[in-house]
Amino acid sequence: MSEEWQAELVKQSVVLAFTTTGKVAEYLWKRFTNRVAREPAAVERAVRRLLEENPEAASDLAKLIEREVPEKRRKPRIADNEGPFVDRLGAWGQLAGRNGCAVLCGPPGIGKTALVKRFATETTGAGGAYPDGALLVDLADYRDGPGMPLARSRIMTYVLSRLGIETLGTTGEELAAQYEATLEPLRLLLVFDNAESAGELHGLIPPAPMSLILALTSGPADDFIFGFSTPVALGQLEPGADRQLLEQLCGAELLARDPQGVEALLAQCDRIPPAIVSAGHAARQRENFTPRPFTDVARELAGGAELGKVSRAYDELVAGLSPEAGELCRLLTAFPGPSFTPELVSVLLGRSGTQALIELQAQVLLTAEPGGRWRLGSQARQAVLRTGDTSGVDEAFARLLRFYVGRAVRADTSNPDRFRVYDTAVPASADIVPEVDWLAAEMPVLRALAAAAYQRGFHHELTQLCGALEIVPLHRNVHREFEAILSYGIAATTEPALLARMVSQHGRVLSLLGEFALAAKDFDRAEAELRRIPDPGTDLHQQLAASVSEFRALFHREQGQLEEALGYYFRALEISRRLSVPGKRHRGRGLHARMLANVLVGLGRAQETVGLLEEAEQNTLDEDKRNLAQVLLVRAKAFAETGQTAGARALLPEVWRLANEARSDQYDLEISEALGDAAWRAGDPDQARQYWSGVWQRYETARHPRRARLYHKLWFGS
């Protein structure tokens, strides 16, 4: 036994030895007989000697004292939360088994008290971390209003009374001493709810090393970093836990009736428990009157419907933000979505906004998204909109749009040889020149941004964005997003050259998506726009005509109409040859020669491609690895078609290397198919079918017309 425990045992034994009817006194005096004087010092010496000579006496005395003293001492309990409870594993894990002082922080209503109630139920009592019980003290009940001083003496008295201890002191000092002495040996969970600051807990935290003193606060956690361990932040539920909570509230059967509505509703609730509870209640009320109750409630919330006291709590939360955080929250309503990076906060504000971002995160007004991205919560957005304050929003949107336009244009113009029709003039900037990967990651944002830019009348910037973003689908599979962006750009201008380029690009993208009926209309319109150009003899017009022919050839190639594609590619190559300057590489000429050669291979005329491929290679820059890879790919196909399988199989790994160095994933299916063709002609049908099978699966999933060709190869070979 420890010295501290033995000293406490001796002290209590001495005191109880002088009671007249106590079991401890009876036990001691039977052993002392008449050999010990009835005075405290003598009794203390005798007890110590007894414990040294008879170690079992310590256990006997401890049991007797436990029966005698705690007759008035109770082990308090915190009633469990009766409502549904899910998740919170992260915060629970940080609290489990802890002693000392800790702080649990989070905005009002996030579920701090509910977590503590469940935690107390699981960790107190026999065998728990806190066998002496748990106490929850709501500090709001002991102050006259927010920011007012606490009535500490009343709190100490309450805690002692819950422990079954009579307060005997007549002064504050005596009460504090009794409070500390009583709590010091206990293993207790003591919770102070609604703590406004660490300072107001001064004098209420006892020297109880085996207890956990837990403060719950809705205020800034910064105030608690001294004297407390690292704050445990309570935020949104983990992904998937929101659905579990909704199922507990509404039942699995009701959720199964309206699965899409469930997802829409949860998106409006941002994984915030009280929002889910309130929205779930609203859906349950409608279950007998509509087949899709969750859809109906989600639609109402998206339109600005309120969630009663939950919405009022959001209104209070937004109103209580610091000026900078309040401004950022307001300006984020100008961000079209779906998510933003911390970098964009500075763009919206026009200055650094790190502290404002930290505050919004601490108040759980932001929802974390994959990839280090964030979005303003749906209910937070509605709370801002209810204020009616739109100051600075238009200016923030303009900054945001010009930021994206500037980055896209700088990325595009980093390759000076690409053909462009749009206005490439943007303000000079020391900003980075982003890589295609950055633009590809931002395409969902750019799609939403294009729609908002069109609605707000930023038509010139929109055409710049459409032109600059042409480079992205050349490298990454973002065709659907680019198609949507182009549709807004097309609606934003009447200038014939711009329209010819954007409409033909739109047709090209639709062709790659297999939507040929719509693509055909685009190419007819593009030809009509070409005829509207005032001076068709300029180099610009001729280059534009060549690009329209190139895209129309792709339209036919994607449908397997190779003879038609051949004619359009030949027309494009003729124009590029006229525009090229002897002795200088011409990018368009290299592209069109290679594309024409590729169609000839498909038509079984590979022997006619030798000169075209030399022309393509001579007009392709060494650093243009993407297009150089394509030249070598067509050459490998031609080798395979003419029986030079060894040459084909030797070239294709180099094609892969160049495509990977260019970080372009748009040609992996074509390369894989070529690998299969070469393997087949080399007499390795099993290897060929492995390649073709993977390609066919991708085409089949996308319902692309090429899937029929690959299916035929799987059965009959190349």
468-489: pLDDT as tens digits: 999 999 888 899 999 999 999 9
The pLDDT > 70 percentage for the chain reads 97
Check whether 663 has a pLDDT greater than 90: no
Q: Check if the beta carbon of residue 543 is closer than 8 Å to that of residue 588.
A: yes
Among 17, 41, 71, the domain boundary falls at 71
For residue 359, pLDDT beyond 70: yes
What confidence category does residue 523 fall into, taking pLDDT thresholds of 50, 70 and 90? very high
Q: Where are the alpha helices (DSSP H) in 424-458?
A: 436-441, 443-456
Q: With cut-offs at 50, 70 and 90, classify the pLDDT of residue 716.
A: confident
Computed over every residue of the chain, the mean pLDDT equals 90
What confidence category does residue 220 fall into, taking pLDDT thresholds of 50, 70 and 90?
Answer: confident
Which pLDDT does position 125 carry in this prediction? 74
Domain assignment present for 581: no
Whether 367 contacts 271, CB under 8 Å: yes
User: How much is the average pLDDT of 233-242?
Assistant: 90
The amino acid at residue 319 is A
109 domain-assigned: yes
User: Is the same domain home to 262 and 192?
Assistant: no
Whether 364 is covered by a domain: the verdict is yes
The string of pLDDT tens digits covering residues 177-189 is 888 888 888 889 9
Residue 597 included in any domain: no
Question: Do 196 and 329 belong together in one domain?
Answer: no
384: tokens are: 């801002």
Last residue within a domain, chosen from 356, 391, 426? 391
Q: Is the pLDDT of residue 73 over 70?
A: no
For the segment 666-682, the average pLDDT, to the nearest whole number, is: 83
User: What value does the mean pLDDT take over residues 220-231?
Assistant: 78
Residue 61 lies in a domain: yes
* Structural Rg of the chain based on CA atoms: 38
Same domain as 184, residue 271: no
Q: Kindly state whether residue 62 falls inside one of the protein's structural domains.
A: yes
Amino acid at 694: G
Any bridge partners for residue 213, and if so which? 101, 190
The token duo for 422 is: 């749009």
Same domain, 104 and 198: yes
The residue with greater pLDDT, 659 or 267, is 267
Does residue 72 contact residue 165 with C-beta atoms inside 8 Å?
Answer: yes
Query: Residue 397 and residue 450: Cα distance in Å, rounded?
Result: 12
pLDDT exceeds 70 at position 20: no
The band of 71, judged by pLDDT with boundaries at 50, 70 and 90, is very low
Q: Which of 625, 576, 572, 617 is nearest to 599 (CA)?
A: 572
Q: What is the CATH number of the domain that holds 345?
A: 1.10.10
* pLDDT band of 665, cuts 50, 70, 90: low
Q: Does 214 share its domain with 153? A: yes
The per-residue pLDDT for range 562-617, each reduced to its tens digit, is 999 999 999 999 999 999 998 899 999 999 999 999 999 999 999 999 999 999 99
Tokens of 167: 């307060």
Number of residues assigned to the chain: 718
pLDDT in tens, 312-341: 999 999 999 999 999 999 999 999 989 999
Whether the CB-CB separation of 616 and 593 falls below 8 Å is answered with yes
Determine the structural domain holding residue 320 and report its residue range.
313-391
Q: Examine the domain organization and report whether 49 and 176 are in the same domain.
A: no
Q: What is the mean pLDDT of residues 208-232?
A: 84
Q: Which of 81, 121, 116 is nearest to 95 (CA)?
A: 116
Residue 149 lies in a domain: yes
Same domain for 181 and 59: no
Average pLDDT over residues 90-112: 90
Q: What angle, 0 to 180 degrees and rounded to 10, lies between the N-to-C axes of helices 309-319 and 273-286?
A: 150
How many domains does the chain divide into? 4
Single out the residue in 391, 413, 445 at which a domain terminates: 391
Two structure tokens written together for 406: 């500037």
Q: Average of pLDDT values for 273-302?
A: 94
Same domain for 121 and 51, yes or no, is: no
Query: Is there a single domain that holds both residue 137 and residue 172?
Result: yes
Single out the residue of 289, 100, 107, 79 nearest to residue 188, CA to CA.
Answer: 100
662 φ, ψ (degrees, to nearest 5):
-80, -5
| Residues 198-207, mean pLDDT to the nearest whole number | 89
What's the confidence (pLDDT) of residue 189?
A: 94
pLDDT tops 90 at residue 445: yes
Instruction: Tell which wins on pLDDT, 373 or 476.
Output: 373
Same domain, 269 and 381: no
Q: What is the pLDDT of residue 69?
A: 62
17-26, 239-248, 491-500: segment of lowest average pLDDT? 17-26
Q: Which is higher by pLDDT, 274 or 8?
A: 274
* Sign of the alpha-carbon dihedral angle for 644, 649, 654, 657: positive
Q: How many CA atoms lie within 13 A of 106 on its CB side?
A: 20
Q: What is the pLDDT of residue 70?
A: 55
> Cα separation of 599 and 553, whole Å?
10
In a domain? residue 610:
no
φ/ψ of 80, rounded to 5, equals -70, 150
The pLDDT assigned to 655 comes to 86
664 pLDDT band, cuts 50/70/90, is: low
My answer on whether 96 and 209 are in the same domain is yes
Q: Model's pTM, two decimal places?
A: 0.79
Q: Are residues 331 and 226 in the same domain?
A: no
* Contact between residue 511 and residue 474 where contact means Cβ atoms under 8 Å apart: no
> Within its chain, how far is the Cα of 107 from the centroid?
20
